[in-house]
């Protein structure tokens, strides 16, 4: 069972564009939804997380979860060349400290100046 699906891209946009990244998941038990950013030859770094459904905004980034359709989105406004990275969606089944993360495959984003 493929638990988290993510279009791997690559996605190339001009500087200043709005970027939309999406994932779907299969298990309705998932409660926490994360977006990680991974630069080349680095480990994943948490960008944002959302609990249950709804939106969360942090500067130019907005995370959105629709639990009814099991759909996770990340929007980047006014994209910058420094946003060029691989973006990984991830889910967490609970909040116990040892709950494994389940990742999507990652979408490689290039923002062209």
Partner 1 sequence: EPEVTQTPSHQVTQMGQEVILRCVPISNHLYFYWYRQILGQKVEFLVSFYNNEISEKSEIFDDQFSVERPDGSNFTLKIRSTKLEDSAMYFCASSGVTGGFNEQFFGPGTRLTVL
List interacting residues with partner 1 (CB under 8 A).
4, 32, 41-46, 49, 51, 88, 90, 95, 97-98, 100-106
Decide whether 15 or 99 has the Cβ nearer to partner 1: 99
Decide whether 79 or 106 has the Cβ nearer to partner 1: 106
Residue 111 burial class via C-beta count within 10 angstroms: exposed 0-12, middle 13-18, buried 19 and up: buried
Q: Give me the least distance between CB of 51 and partner 1, in Å please.
A: 7
Q: Give me the least distance between CB of 4 and partner 1, in Å please.
A: 8
Decide whether 74 or 88 has the Cβ nearer to partner 1: 88
């Amino acid at each position: 069972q493929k638990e988290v699906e993510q279009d791997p891209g690559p996605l190339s946009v001009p500087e200043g564009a709005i970027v939309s990244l999406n994932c779907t998941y299969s298990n309705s038990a998932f409660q926490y939804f994360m977006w990680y950013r991974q630069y080349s030859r680095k480990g994943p770094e948490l960008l944002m997380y959302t609990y249950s459904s709804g939106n969360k905004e942090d500067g130019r980034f907005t995370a959105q979860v629709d639990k009814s359709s099991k759909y996770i989105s990340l929007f980047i406004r006014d994209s910058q060349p420094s946003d060029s990275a691989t973006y990984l969606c991830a889910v967490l089944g609970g909040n116990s400290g040892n709950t494994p993360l389940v990742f999507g495959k990652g979408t490689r984003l290039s923002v062209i100046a």
